[in-house]
Structure 1
Amino acid sequence: MTDLYEFSTPELVRLLGTRFKEYRMRCNLTQKEVAELSGIGMTTIHKFESGNAGNISLSTFILLLKVVGQINALDDVLPELPESPYLMRKNEKKAQRIRHTIL
């Protein structure tokens, strides 16, 4: 398995674009069909798949995941965590932010 920490952000975007193209093709969809189903322009899809996008928004990526039936994969990326006793305050309220005290 590849260590993704070795990749820069643009390299990871290119990798995701290549992988997305494989998913699209396995779904037997053209770029035009993905554009119509997602509301994303064909140019954006083409650039993403060819590695020339540089960057795409998270919203765009989520729309693309939905089209190829992979939206549930987001649960693998950031699974829901169990309650943490370390984040519970004395009054039984969950901490909303982390503050560090300066010594």
Structure 2
Amino acid sequence: MCLKCLITYMWKLIKPPEALKQLGSRLREVRLSQGLTQRELAALAGVARNSVARLEDSGSGRTDTLLRVLGALNILGRLDAVLPEATPSPLLMLKRSASLKPRLRVRHKRKR
């Protein structure tokens, strides 16, 4: 299952506190699969060990801490699957282009 599908599925079935706990346990699984201790991960991420423990235990913590930990685990790039870059809809692009270029009316001379 792709990461985006998994998170969408989690948010539909699980209340936010439970989803945060599951996020924390997934972070722990990734850390352990890479053979890192909390202290080693904290050093790589440039955060306190307590911050890593808090993320793993409850999923709570600061956003910048989460991003640093994801970067240290080399999984920050996977965030694009969850939060793709927003692109304007074709209709919005059409409206924007119409507002930038005012329409000009051309008058043709009548033939007699």
Q: TM-score, normalised by structure 2?
A: 0.69
Q: Deviations over 1:54-83 (max 9, x none)?
A: x22221111111111101101101223555
Query: Aligned equivalents of 2:71 and 2:53: distance in 1?
Result: 17
- Write out the 4+ residue segments of structure 1 that deviate beyond 4 Å after TM superposition: none
CA drift at 1:19: 0.2
1:65 and 2:70 are equivalent in the alignment? yes
**Further displaced range: 84-93 or 32-41:** 84-93
Q: Which runs of 5+ in 1 are unaligned?
A: 94-103
Give the corresponding residue for 2:79. 74
Give the corresponding residue for 1:85. 90
Give the corresponding residue for 1:49. 56
Query: Aligned equivalents of 2:88 and 2:51: distance in 1?
Result: 39
The one of 5, 15, 21 aligned to 1:8: 15
What letter matches 1:67 in structure 2?
A
What letter matches 1:28 in structure 2?
G
Alignment identity in percent? 33
CA drift at 1:43: 1.1
Give the corresponding residue for 2:33. 26
CA drift at 1:91: 2.9
Q: Which runs of 5+ in 2 are unaligned?
A: 102-112
Query: Aligned equivalents of 1:79 and 1:9: distance in 2?
Result: 21
Identify the structure with the greater helix proportion. 2
